[in-house]
Amino acid sequence: MEHQTQILLVMFGYMTLLILWGLYQGRKVKTGSDYAIAGRDLPGWVAALSERATGESSWALLGLPGAAYATGLTEIWTAIGCVAGIITAWAALAWRLRSEAEKYDVNTYTEYIAKKHSEMSKWIRIVGSMTIVFFFFFYVGAQFLGGGKTLHTMFGINPKLGMLITAIIIIPYTIYGGFRSVVYTDVIQAIVMITTLIVGPLVGIWYISSHTTLFAHSVPAALAKAGTNYTSLTGAASGFGAGVVILAGFSWFFGYLGGQPQLSMRFMAIKDSQQARKARNIGIAWTVIAYIGALSIGWIGIAIFGPGTLPDQEYVMPAVLLKIFPPAIAAVLITGAIAAMISTADSLLILSATELSENLLKPIAKFRKEGEKSALKRSRIVTALLAVIALLLAYVSPSKLIFSLVSWVWAGVGGTFSVIILLTLFWRRFHGKAVLVTLVTGLLFTIIWSLTGMDKVITSRLLTFFVTGFAAVVSTFILKKREA
């Protein structure tokens, strides 16, 4: 009980400071552009840390270590796919999206695509925004689920109550300060997260080597003792099955190619090209370190607890840290898991709210002549409503694995919009009608493929990208471009 009290005090202090920091940043929000994209004036280091904190949500601190704990070396392919995608995004896409956002003077992700393909602007705004909002309900729900799991592990709190507490933490400053508050709180989250992913594995390796009563005394010994499935890069599969395993892991790569709106918005908000270069370097370095740390924590969990002994594989990160650190230090580091969840949940909420408010409600309700105060009020109301709906969906979600929920969204949004962004940036012939065909194809294919159970055969994270890519190219040639 004494240990839990220490942990609770540390976390309460951190969360209180986080909320106050977010509200302070919200005081600087004066216009719709401030609320939606921080006035496109972010320093490079802020954009990089915010993008990385947002990209590495509770799936990277709970889901990925959990998958590494459950499958061993097989999860390396997921890490390789993600890291390769992130490096590609920062090196090839970030500066281009920043320049495009400035050129077209946009405040939202879908608004850029719509203005670029102005002949179908209205329908791209509607269909694109609805697709993002639909899938992001589940993504936000996954972050609430992550918070619930962490609080359950630490305090024995009912996971559903933990989800509610998590939502209460992020809602005030997200509603008040919008994108600006979210970005600057993300900076703190990114620092806490990377600290956890560096210190945790280093101390964990020392801990397992110096304690004789554990399952194993090193990561290689733990994997070997756990069985051939854990030491195989393909989960002991061979032939075609091995190829499927490798592609399933690497398929996360495709979602990073401009197709995650919450990440691309950070690129678009960078102040200038010089800051974009600084952001690129910071973002890539952070990523490599973080993924090595996340995998290591999962494997250290095998050494400490043995394979398959935890009631939920995604409890491994907080369980490991509580085992190897004194309670107060563990509390600070475990806050990294909460930080990961918060940094994505608030970003997804504000992105969904601005997409819905700017691209759907504003045109429908003819709000174009409203004042800035009225526009801000509308955006804040929409943000609050979306938070409540996402929380309710998290309670009734058929999947309780963060990894599975995020994977599904990664296909529907990442696979679809990556194709659209890539072709929009690099193929002049690509036009508005083809954009709409691509959107509808990605949405329907991901839903149907998942509901029929085919996702267990070949992941939709991989297929959605290629199916929508095929639809995009074919429709570009078949359909005649509509004149603006």
Per-residue pLDDT tens over the stretch 413-461: 889 999 999 999 999 999 999 999 999 999 899 888 888 888 777 888 8
Q: How far is CA 27 from CA 16, 20, 177, in A?
A: 17, 11, 7
Mean pLDDT within 217-229: 93
Q: What are phi and psi of 367, to 5 degrees?
A: -90, 10
Query: CA–CA separation, 328 vs 282, rounded Å?
Result: 29
Check residues 250 and 294 and name the one with the higher pLDDT: 294
pLDDT score for 323: 93
Q: Is the pLDDT of residue 240 over 70?
A: no
Q: Strand ranges (DSSP E) for 225-336?
A: none
What does the chain come to in residues? 484
Q: Is the pLDDT of residue 202 over 90?
A: yes
Give the residue among 452, 448, 429 at the shortest CA–CA distance from 440: 448
Query: Cβ-count burial of 390 within 10 angstroms (0-12 exposed, 13-18 middle, 19+ buried)?
Result: buried
Check residues 335 and 464 and name the one with the higher pLDDT: 464
Per-residue pLDDT tens over the stretch 341-392: 777 778 888 888 888 887 877 766 554 556 667 777 888 888 888 888 888 8
Q: What are phi and psi of 477, to 5 degrees?
A: -80, -35
* Predicted TM-score of the model (pTM): 0.88
Query: CA–CA separation, 380 vs 385, rounded Å?
Result: 9
pLDDT score for 418: 94
Full set of structural domains in the chain with CATH = 2-399 (1.20.1730.10)
Question: Hey, which residues does 270 pair with through a beta bridge?
Answer: 42
In the chain, the percentage of residues whose pLDDT exceeds 70 is 92
Q: Which two tokens stand for residue 327?
A: 């309670």
- Mean pLDDT, the chain, rounded, equals 86
Q: Is the pLDDT of residue 283 over 90?
A: yes
Per-residue pLDDT tens over the stretch 306-316: 998 998 888 89
Q: Which two tokens stand for residue 216?
A: 């194993």
Amino acid making up residue 138: F
Mean pLDDT within 171-194: 88
8 Å CB contact between 64 and 290: no
Query: CA–CA separation, 146 vs 150, rounded Å?
Result: 6
Amino acid making up residue 96: R
